Amino acid sequence: MTARHDVQQADVLAICKSCETRQGGLCGALKARQLVELAKASSRHEILAGTELPNDGTYSSLLSGVVKLTRNLSDGRQQIVGFYFAPDFLGRPFEAKRPIKTEALTNVALCSFPRTVIDRMIDETPELGRQLLRHALGELDDARDWMAALGRKTASEKIASFLLMVARNIAASGHPGNSTSFDLPLTRADIADFLGLTIETVSRELSRLRSDGAIRIANKRQISLPSISQLEQRCGD
Amino acid sequence: MTARHDVQQADVLAICKSCETRQGGLCGALKARQLVELAKASSRHEILAGTELPNDGTYSSLLSGVVKLTRNLSDGRQQIVGFYFAPDFLGRPFEAKRPIKTEALTNVALCSFPRTVIDRMIDETPELGRQLLRHALGELDDARDWMAALGRKTASEKIASFLLMVARNIAASGHPGNSTSFDLPLTRADIADFLGLTIETVSRELSRLRSDGAIRIANKRQISLPSISQLEQRCGD
DNA sequence: GCAAAACCTTGATCTCGATCAAGGCGGCGC
DNA sequence: GCGCCGCCTTGATCGAGATCAAGGTTTTGC
């Protein structure tokens, strides 16, 4: 195998491992031979922050960075309907009829697999299909959690829940440092679009949490959570 | 084959057909032999309106009736995070860690399949796994649509979108009469819990739509939509 | 058929978060 | 260094939808 393929195989392994964060693990389902085949068929992409990801019907492993999914109303109102923190798996290869946009929030590295290859591997290894199903159902659970937050939580509960979710995702991604102190990869506008609020309300609620001692903020984006339990009490569920 | 099994096989066929409403169709993936096997392993249940469905790790086909999925916050606030209109498929057999409750809104008939049987059939027929994945991704799309509605639409846009969604689901279920006149199987409280509003606001907005001529209401629950396009203009996207 | 209970509507008032407005901070180009 | 621009914060005011309140209508049980 050429060096090129070695590198890609390492990527595949890294990516498969990342899928285990949600549950199960893609790699576990596949034989070594299939991993090599996947590596040969895959392609690696580096995408700059702010760029839209192509909706080309491929499956992708997110190697590093953060991706957001946005749905727009006709007059420009925006709702963020999902985040992907590396390592995770973007598996929405069936044509999306809905006006949903996929965008890199930070610089992003990903590894994409043609749908045809994955489809064939599902035939060889049905466990892969179950794995993808499990992953999709995990995303569905997350989406439903956020529906409850959007519909029924107050602004400050939304902010507390959001910070906890980010902390958990950052923790799962195994970033340097502990998960209670992290660099928020989102602007206030992104947070507002995720929580169904305005940037002013987001800013005010963050300030309030800070003056209450529930969080610390350095340089706008550097957040630390001295007391997870205090946040949990504020998140409404 | 005994009559008992004949009846069940008919149910299975009906149910598989219903899955085609979202996309694809379970039946199409399976061989005749497997359908008979599924019929033998399945059990039929009649569930009264208002009863909670058991979360017993089975897959179920919804033969008739309407089912809601609710997520509760600790202080009793409620959010409905999904509806199933027959014919549809309830495929959430992996343990749900979240506080989500499944409840019959009307009297319901369903046919449930043990997880082990479906799992084995996925091994025999990987297309079944892909089909279930496609179904889950369809549910995910629906959930994301409602996230956008919950986060960014006004009360009257929410009501208009809701009525259109119900009309589409009733239409897909092939009920008697056309899809623009139907019996709403939900109370005002259910509608409010779905849209993140209060019952008073739901009532007011429905009254407003009626006085604007966009809808007609007889007997509280009997709704007709004389002008779908007028509703579409009001739904914000 | 009648009473009770559940459900729905409408009005008055209040409140949370949106909107409008002004200014601060930090990074970048020159 | 300086000015511009993007991003964030804070204050003042407004308004959509919540809450409180009262009464009407439909369903259910007997």
- Quote the crossing angle between the two packed helices B126-152 and A126-152, to the nearest 10°: 10
Estimate in Å the CA B206 to C1' D20 gap, whole number.
21
pLDDT above 90 for A160: yes
> Nearest nucleotide, C1' to the C-alpha of B195?
D17
Tell me the pLDDT band of B148, cut-offs 50, 70 and 90.
very high
User: Please, what are the domains in chain A?
Assistant: 3-143 (2.60.120.10), 153-234 (1.10.10.10)
* CA A195 and chain centroid, separation: 16
Quick check: A237 and B152 CB within 8 A? no
A29-33, A213-217, B92-96, B178-182: least confident range: B92-96
User: d(Cα A119, Cα A128) in Å, to the nearest integer?
Assistant: 9
CB A74 within 8 A of CB A154: no
pLDDT above 70 for A144: yes
Tell me the pLDDT band of B42, cut-offs 50, 70 and 90.
confident
Percent of chain A with pLDDT over 70: 83
Per-residue 3-state assignment (H helix, E strand, C coil) for B78-115:
EEEEEEEECCEEECCCCCCCCCEEEEECCCEEEEEECH
A52-56, B30-34, B94-98: least confident range: B94-98
Quick check: B153 and A73 CB within 8 A? yes
pLDDT above 50 for B4: no
Overall average pLDDT of the B32-50 stretch: 85
- With CA atoms as reference, report the closest residue to B100 among B117, B115, B80, B84: B80
Per-residue 3-state assignment (H helix, E strand, C coil) for chain A:
CCHHHHHHHHHHHHHHHHHCCCCCCHHHHCCHHHHHHHHHHCEEEEECCCCECCCCCCEEEEEECEEEEEEECCCCCEEEEEEEECCEEECCCCCCCCCEEEEECCCEEEEEECHHHHHHHHHHCHHHHHHHHHHHHHHHHHHHHHHHHHHHCCHHHHHHHHHHHHHHHHHHCCCCCCCCEEECCCCHHHHHHHHCCCHHHHHHHHHHHHHCCCCEEECCCEEECCCHHHHHHHCCC
Nearest residue, CA→C1' of C18: A198
pLDDT for B227 equals 87
∠B16-B18-B23 over CA atoms, to 5°?
A: 95
Q: Is the CB of A2 under 7 A from strand C?
A: no
User: d(Cα B90, Cα A140) in Å, to the nearest integer?
Assistant: 13
Q: Which residues contact A140 (CB under 8 A, 6 or more apart)?
A: B92, B136, B139, B140, B143
pLDDT for B16 equals 58
DSSP sequence for B123-163: HH-HHHHHHHHHHHHHHHHHHHHHHHHHHH--HHHHHHHHH
Quick check: B196 and A98 CB within 8 A? no
Residues of A with Cβ-Cβ distance to B96 under 8 angstroms: 141
pLDDT for B104 equals 93
Q: What kind and span of H or E run contains B223?
A: strand B222-224
pLDDT for B220 equals 80
Q: Computed from CA positions of residues B142, B42, A131, B23, in that sequence, does the dihedral angle turn out positive or negative?
A: negative
User: d(Cα A35, Cα A89) in Å, to the nearest integer?
Assistant: 16
- Cβ-count burial B139-175 (b if 16+ within 10 Å, e if not): bbbbbbbbbbbbbbbebbbbbbbbbbbbbebbebbee
Protein-proximal positions, strand C, CB < 7 A: 7-12, 16-21, 26-27
User: d(Cα B103, Cα B105) in Å, to the nearest integer?
Assistant: 6
Residues of B with Cβ-Cβ distance to A145 under 8 angstroms: 71, 98
Q: Which of B72, B144, B152 sits opposite A143 (nearest CB)?
A: B144
Q: Which residue of A has its CA nearest to B135?
A: A133
> Nearest nucleotide, C1' to the C-alpha of A198?
C18
B93 vs B147: which has the higher pLDDT? B147
Overall average pLDDT of the B200-210 stretch: 96
- With CA atoms as reference, report the closest residue to A78 among A95, A103, A110: A103
Overall average pLDDT of the A41-48 stretch: 87
Per residue in A164-204, pLDDT (tens digit) is: 999 988 876 655 556 688 889 899 999 999 999 999 999 99
A50-64, B16-30, B160-174: least confident range: B16-30
pLDDT above 70 for B208: yes
Surface-to-core class of residue B56, CB atoms within 10 Å of its CB (0-12 exposed, 13-18 middle, 19+ buried): exposed
Which of A22, A68, A73 to mutate to probe the B interface, most B CBs <10 Å? A73
Residues of B with Cβ-Cβ distance to A142 under 8 angstroms: none
User: d(Cα B126, Cα B30) in Å, to the nearest integer?
Assistant: 10
Quick check: B237 and A141 CB within 8 A? no
User: d(Cα B147, Cα A147) in Å, to the nearest integer?
Assistant: 5
Quick check: B143 and A145 CB within 8 A? no
**What residues does B66 pair with on adjacent strands?**
B85
Quick check: A136 and B137 CB within 8 A? yes
For B94, other C-beta atoms within 10 Å of its C-beta total 16
